[in-house]
Amino acid sequence: MTGMRAVQARRLGTGPTGLRIEDVPRPVPGAGEVLIRVHAVGANHLDLGALSGQGPGAAARLPLRVGIDPAGRIVAVGHGVEAERVGTRVVVKPNIPCGTCRWCLAGAEARCPRQEVVGVHRPGGAADLVVVPERNAVPIPAGLPAPVASAAVHAVPIALQMVRRAGEINPGEPVLVTGAAGAVGSALVQILAAAGARPIPVVRSAGHGPVRRGPGADSVGEAVTYDGLAGALTETAPDGVALAFDATGAAGPIAAAWDALGWAGRLVVCAATGDHPLEVDIRRLYLRRLQLIGSASADFGDVTEGLAMVAAGTVQVAVGPEFALEDAVAAYTALSDPHRDGKVLIHVAD
Ligand SMILES: [Zn+2]
């Protein structure tokens, strides 16, 4: 067999109309790379960004094989990779750091300025097979199903990296999480609860997706809407919160989180949706000793730790609807369903 099935972004446009399921040549692992037979891969907004030329997907050149977070089994290795890796279950860390800059050498790969992304800068894993650098094929902990690993490998390490960047977290202190119903937001709520904080989930509307609380549910505050935020804070944090995390990337929620900060408060932001600028009052920023922290991507250490937390049940990840590879276009359509609950997955093979 020389060919395989793949989901290809063919032409620019909004939504999944530019996606095609095509037969393409099988990839061959080069030096330092592994070949993975894909079990499952997520349908991500980033993939649609490659079609619409927006966000991190704007770096893509079409035609492009999409799929940033495949999970499966290594079936072949390239030169220089230990043959024992063949047969192991792995999930792909989407970001490939350069490996040589000062941040990479310090193990802070999330801050590497020369990262490439699987499914953006090189062929992705929405296909029967995918080739990635050996190190990006991260072992899946025993007992963790491949689809769950795929659903976790992007969002949970990003949340861990945000918490790491935020610095000190005091036991029992209220911490705001805007966009708490999404994948990164859910992970943040659960990681913060596990770290001893009291996360306050903020959601668009009461009926807009449940907030996942995980095993630390008792430490998680009542979910509040943006309209009800100021009122809720007068009770729980009248002097403002010391720490806030935004998982929406939208100016409105970020501004609400920024306004909720108390003395020496820190706000960590991990995404940008739309192009609305954020207005910051410089007097408030410096006089109140505030910090606005940008975070993106994750360290290899975040990926290992995040997968271990999911395998241990400390962080629960919701797997939503699954679609066959042939129905990949429907998977991307399901992404924008407001009633969807959990990560949309493409099931490639068992
Ligand atoms: Zn680097």
Q: How far is the CA of 108 from the centre of ligand 1 (A)?
A: 8
CATH number of the CATH domain containing 41: 3.90.180.10
pLDDT classification of 209: cutoffs 50, 70, 90: low
- The residue whose two tokens read 């799929």 is 67
What is the rounded average pLDDT for all residues in the chain? 93
198, part of any domain: yes
* CA triple 240-280-249, angle to 5 deg: 80
Asked whether the bond before 201 is cis by omega within 30 degrees of 0, the reply is no
CA 222 to centroid of ligand 1, rounded, Å: 40
Q: How far is CA 314 from CA 93, 150, 335, in A?
A: 20, 17, 26
Q: Note whether residue 300 is domain-resident.
A: no
119 is in which domain, residue-wise?
Answer: 3-139+318-347
Cβ 7 vs Cβ 326: under 8 Å? no
CA separation for the pair 266, 257 (Å, rounded): 10
The count of domains in the chain is: 2
Residues 169, 251 within the same domain = yes
| DSSP 8-state symbol, 209 | S
Model pLDDT for residues 64-86, shown as the tens digit of each residue = 999 999 999 999 999 999 999 99
Residue 92 alpha carbon to ligand 1 centre in Å = 18
User: Is residue 61 a part of any domain in this protein?
Assistant: yes
> Are 50 and 118 in the same domain?
yes
Centroid of ligand 1 to alpha carbon of 298 (angstroms):
12
Confirm whether 150 is domain-assigned. no
With cut-offs at 50, 70 and 90, classify the pLDDT of residue 285: very high
d(CA 185, CA 220): 13
- Mapped onto helix, strand or coil, the DSSP state of residue 129 is strand
CA–centroid distance, 117 to ligand 1, in Å, is: 13
Same domain, 93 and 41: yes
Answer yes or no: do 21 and 135 share one domain: yes
Find how far residue 125's CA is from the centre of its chain. 16
Residues 66 and 186 placed together within one structural domain of the fold: no
> Is residue 66 in a domain?
yes
In a domain, 312, yes or no: no
Q: From ligand 1's centre to the CA of 107, what distance in Å?
A: 9
CA of 177 to the centre of ligand 1 (A): 29
Give the tens place of pLDDT for each residue, 26-70.
999 999 999 999 999 999 988 988 888 877 778 888 899 999 999
135 and 209 assigned to the same domain: no
Whether residue 236 is found in the same domain as residue 337: no
Q: Are residues 24 and 63 in the same domain?
A: yes
**CA–CA distances in Å: residue 250 to residues 56, 105, 293, 311:** 15, 33, 15, 31
> What tokens were used for 62?
């079409």
Model pTM greater than 0.85? yes
Distance from residue 110's CA to the centre of ligand 1 (Å): 8
Q: Summarize pLDDT for 131-156 with one digit per residue, the tens.
A: 999 999 999 999 999 999 999 999 99
Q: Residue 310 falls within a domain, yes or no? A: no
Contact 177, 154 (CB under 8 A): no
Give the integer Cα–Cα distance in Å for 91 and 73. 8
The two tokens of residue 2 are: 């020389």
Residues 175 and 91 in one domain: no
